[in-house]
Chain A
Amino acid sequence: TQLLEQSPQFLSIQEGENLTVYCNSSSVFSSLQWYRQEPGEGPVLLVTVVTGGEVKKLKRLTFQFGDARKDSSLHITAAQPGDTGLYLCAGHTGNQFYFGTGTSLTVIP
């Protein structure tokens, strides 16, 4: 049973387009993190959100934590080829982070 479901599983878009990926659960988390993983490498932490409704921006990336702290979204504005990778969300509960299934993003030049 997967605690966190991410959608879509795969996404291929043209450079310059906007996109949103989602991370959903029926569980409440004390925090939620987003990671990006490039081929052949380990995940790298992008952001941690803690408060319900919190919005954080990292250049062209906007992260939002749901009001009920059960879900999160990642919005990318004007996607670039360098944004290509696997995006993973991870929810914290019970002194542990549980990882989602991932969204594989390809940005075509």
Chain B
Amino acid sequence: NAGVTQTPKFRVLKTGQSMTLLCAQDMNHEYMYWYRQDPGMGLRLIHYSVGEGTTAKGEVPDGYNVSRLKKQNFLLGLESAAPSQTSVYFCASSLGQGAMSGYTFGSGTRLTVV
């Protein structure tokens, strides 16, 4: 039971470099999310997708882009990394978007921008 798989688990980037974080889910979930987790800030939504080919901005979208070309995959891109993007990034998926929907999270990607 893989659930939600994130790659890579760790990454160090230099300021200005670009990278893509990969998220894959095998539960046939329609909805997928990217969050960042910072000390004392909780989980903050970056972007989300309500289905294949659709994406929308969350609470903190600046500096990030996303794509959902296939239902099972949700990619998060950083075009020009900044130290403020040092964080732990979590991908999540859910079957629905309603009040009873539970999120399944990946194990996270720890990104350091120097």
Contact = CB atoms under 8 A, between A and B. Distances in A.
Interface in B57-114: 90, 92, 97-100, 102-108
Nearest to B97: A95
A48 B100 CA distance: 7
Nearest to A100: B42
A80 interface: no
Interface residues of B, number: 22
A42 B42 contact: no
A61 interface: no
A95 B31 CA distance: 11
Interface of B: 4, 35, 40-45, 48, 90, 92, 97-100, 102-108
Interface of A: 2, 4, 9, 30-31, 33, 35, 40-45, 48, 50, 88, 90, 92, 95-97, 99-102
